[in-house]
Amino acid sequence: MPFPLWAKKRVEELRNIIEYHNYRYYVLDDPEISDAEYDRLFKELLELEDKYPELRDPASPTQKIGGKPLSKFEEFRHSIPMYSLDNAFSLDELKGFCIRIEKTLRQKDIDYWVEVKLDGLAVELVYSKGRFVAGGTRGDGEIGEDITANLKTVKNLPLKLRGDFPVYLEVRGEVVLFKKDFYKLNNDQVAKGEKVFANPRNAAAGSLRQLDPKITAKRPLRFFAYGVGKLEDISFNTQEDIYFALKEMGIPVVPEAKRCTNFEEIENYFKEIQIKRENLPFEIDGLVIKVNNLDFQEKLGYTARFPRFALALKFPAHQAETVLKDVVFQVGRTGVITPVAVLEPVNIGGATVSRATLHNESEIKAKGLKIYDHVIVQRAGDVIPEIVRPLVEKRTGREKDIIFPTHCPVCGSKLERIGSEVAIRCVNLSCPARLEASLIHFVSKKGVDIEGIGKKWIPIFIENGLVKSPSDLFKLRKQDLLSLPRMGEKLAQNIINSIAKAKHKITLEKLIFALGIRHVGEQTAKILAKNYSSLEELSKASEEELCKLRDIGPEVARSIVLFFKLEENKKLLLELKKLGVFPIKVKEKDNEFRPLEGKIFVLTGSLKHFSREQAKKIIEDLGGRVSSSISKKTDFLVVGEKPGSKLQKAKQFGTKIINEQEFLRLVSYR
């Protein structure tokens, strides 16, 4: 079919747009658009190329894999190309795939090996005689980047294989960052004033593609295998065989996998995994369905971009189109002004969405939003819905710019920007909006947990002058409450009771969290409560001292010290103490992973992968201790290059001596 001019133009435009986003995603690890949106562009291009074959071009992004390797790394050539995967976005498409397979193979009842699709970075590992000797990224499928040194720091990646391993083995899999590690990394990046990553996938890719393996070593990356490349002296019959053989060699494999014998089984597994998804520790974006039999795989073969025997079935995107009706400005408890989008209510994946966060002014500018724009809204898991982008092509001319306020919408004080922060805030400490937000935070479940007042009564208490600070809550008497409109005897008594009940249950960590100190979330509050016995002691801590605690950086430390310096906070502390809001210190339940609990280490010589400080931190994080000299109590001496006299001494004491490789294995996650 001859193609119309508009199609040619659109195809060219799409190719340019996609190439640009490929560069941002594969080369810079810094995408600008969501994957769902990328997939939509990609699909549009595929469909046009399909409809108008004359427009096809071997240079089109639809015919290529991934991105060019970066020249800052040595080249890593794959013995057998690493492909991408064909995508399906619905069960209908999956059905089509199954039917195609049956037709091509002229056979019914095909076995499929189905795994979750991990959202990370594809790598290949080379094992020679059972030892990890090299590894690289997928790159453009033929040439990737040699990241051997970085891969060695991946905690659960075995440097030596177990059991019966072949002479030569190439293992393929995905390097990922767990969700909790991703949030922590981004928090640290914020505290250090460095760039934050868009999602765990990009954080994993960015961490692995570092020139300095020491940086990679600090990021808790993990590897999971899903296949093999070139092999010597071993052969397999099915994809499933590969999976279990790798597992037996001590290689971590994709944690969720299953054999399915027909379309319905895959469909059920897909639904099951969708429910499980939010609770998995890592991000997945769908399932990968592979024909199990390897002879069949070979018969089905490959296109330029993907194998015909496999398919990625992606989860439906939580996106929808609606209209941005207005933008309102909320004042948070730290005074930060947050723009909130008011939307024409729209159903996304079963929930009605009528508001979305816009984060801050620069985000609005970056997205180029205007009031009355048609917009794409996204909701993922339990996160607050957000606007992905405006549909500029639907503008009619009546759209209005979003004007950011210069004064607090509640108290009218002039808004300020502190330092280089993107946020603008109301700095009036007695701004009613701030007071309200901080009191609601104070009584919340994760805070001091006073049941039944929250959002409903706090504004009324404030309006009627009953509370001006958190400590006032504990001074409330029944007769004060009875003066309020719509308040009865029974309700008043209930409120008084729940305040009294909460008072006796307040723990130090909850109180620290409840105070709403900037940058101090639940996790940090826990750490502080672990290290200080009371608020009083914490209020005397210096920045230096705080910085020594695990997970606390200079910015967080500064913010804590600043908080306790403020006169009104000093007063609050005193009041709370007088009122008997005296948290009892609870001993933390330690459900952390502490395999080195109680073990004493001594280090000597220099290590290739870590500085002394880093090695010390790793040991301590896993529960062990580092001592500076050898004694009878020492469990391990870790020997680096050019060891000192400690080596001799360790031999005398009969201390277990390990080299860096052995140390790496010891601290590896399994």
Ligand X SMILES: NC(=O)c1ccc[n+]([C@@H]2O[C@H](COP(=O)([O-])OP(=O)(O)OC[C@H]3O[C@@H](n4cnc5c(N)ncnc54)[C@H](O)[C@@H]3O)[C@@H](O)[C@H]2O)c1
Give the residue numbers marked as catalytic.
117
426 binds Zn ion (CB under 5 A): yes
Distance (Å, rounded) from C-alpha 476 to C-alpha 483?
A: 12
415 binds Zn ion (CB under 5 A): no
496: burial class by Cβ within 10 Å (0-12, 13-18, 19+)?
Answer: middle
Nearest residue to 329 (alpha-carbon basis) of 319, 318, 320, 340: 340
**With CB cut-offs between 5 and 8 Å by kind, which of Zn ion, ligand X, none does residue 426 bind?**
Zn ion
39 binds ligand X (CB under 6 A): yes
Q: Is 290 marked as a binding-site residue?
A: yes
21 binds ligand X (CB under 6 A): yes
Distances (CA, A) of 67 to 29, 31, 75, 144: 11, 13, 13, 9
Give the tokens for residue 24. 């941002």
210-249 footprint of ligand X as x/- string (CB under 6 A): ----------------x-----------------------
**With CB cut-offs between 5 and 8 Å by kind, which of Zn ion, ligand X, none does residue 117 bind?**
ligand X
88, 122, 249, 324: which one binds ligand X (CB under 6 A): 122
Distance (Å, rounded) from C-alpha 320 to C-alpha 298?
A: 40
256 binds ligand X (CB under 6 A): no
105, 312, 411, 484: which one binds Zn ion (CB under 5 A): 411
Q: First-to-last CA distance in the chain?
A: 57
Residue nearer to Zn ion on the CB measure, 329 or 636: 329
Distance (Å, rounded) from C-alpha 132 to C-alpha 137?
A: 15
Q: Is 260 marked as a binding-site residue?
A: no
Number of residues counted as binding ligand X (CB under 6 A): 24
Distance (Å, rounded) from C-alpha 125 to C-alpha 156?
A: 13
Distance (Å, rounded) from C-alpha 466 to C-alpha 476?
A: 8
647 binds Zn ion (CB under 5 A): no
**With CB cut-offs between 5 and 8 Å by kind, which of ligand X, Zn ion, none does residue 411 bind?**
Zn ion
**With CB cut-offs between 5 and 8 Å by kind, which of ligand X, Zn ion, none does residue 431 bind?**
Zn ion
11, 408, 538, 630: which one binds Zn ion (CB under 5 A): 408
Give the tokens for residue 266. 């895959």
CA angle 494, 498, 499 (to 5 degrees): 120
Q: How far is the CB of 311 from ligand X (least distance, A)?
A: 10
Nearest residue to 350 (alpha-carbon basis) of 373, 316, 326: 316
**With CB cut-offs between 5 and 8 Å by kind, which of Zn ion, ligand X, none does residue 25 bind?**
ligand X
192: burial class by Cβ within 10 Å (0-12, 13-18, 19+)?
Answer: exposed
Q: Is 211 helix (H, G, I), strand (E, B) or coil?
A: coil
Distance (Å, rounded) from C-alpha 339 to C-alpha 453?
A: 26
**With CB cut-offs between 5 and 8 Å by kind, which of Zn ion, ligand X, none does residue 118 bind?**
ligand X
14, 55, 101, 118: which one binds ligand X (CB under 6 A): 118
197 binds ligand X (CB under 6 A): no
Residue nearer to ligand X on the CB measure, 138 or 318: 138
Footprint on residues 290-329 left by ligand X (CB under 6 A): 312
Scored b (16 or more CB within 10 A) or e, 464-485 reads eebbebbbbbbebeeebbeebe
**With CB cut-offs between 5 and 8 Å by kind, which of Zn ion, ligand X, none does residue 408 bind?**
Zn ion
Stretch that binds Zn ion, among 41-49, 145-153, 292-300, 411-419 (CB under 5 A): 411-419
254 binds ligand X (CB under 6 A): yes
85, 228, 499, 556: which one binds ligand X (CB under 6 A): 85
14, 38, 410, 529: which one binds ligand X (CB under 6 A): 38
Q: How far is the CB of 25 from ligand X (least distance, A)?
A: 3
Distance (Å, rounded) from C-alpha 306 to C-alpha 142?
A: 13
Q: Is 528 marked as a binding-site residue?
A: no
Distances (CA, A) of 639 to 109, 612, 643, 657: 57, 12, 6, 7
Distance (Å, rounded) from C-alpha 166 to C-alpha 126?
A: 11
Nearest residue to 227 (alpha-carbon basis) of 358, 72, 122, 304: 122
177 binds ligand X (CB under 6 A): no
CA angle 618, 624, 626 (to 5 degrees): 80
Binding-site annotation: residue ranges for NAD(+): 35-39, 84-85, 115, 138, 174, 290, 314
Q: Which residues bind ligand X (CB under 6 A)?
A: 21-22, 24-25, 31, 33-35, 38-39, 66, 84-85, 87, 115, 117-118, 122, 138, 174, 226, 254, 288, 312
Q: Which residues bind Zn ion (CB under 5 A)?
A: 408, 410-411, 426, 428, 431
Binding-site annotation: residue ranges: 35-39, 84-85, 115, 138, 174, 290, 314, 408, 411, 426, 431
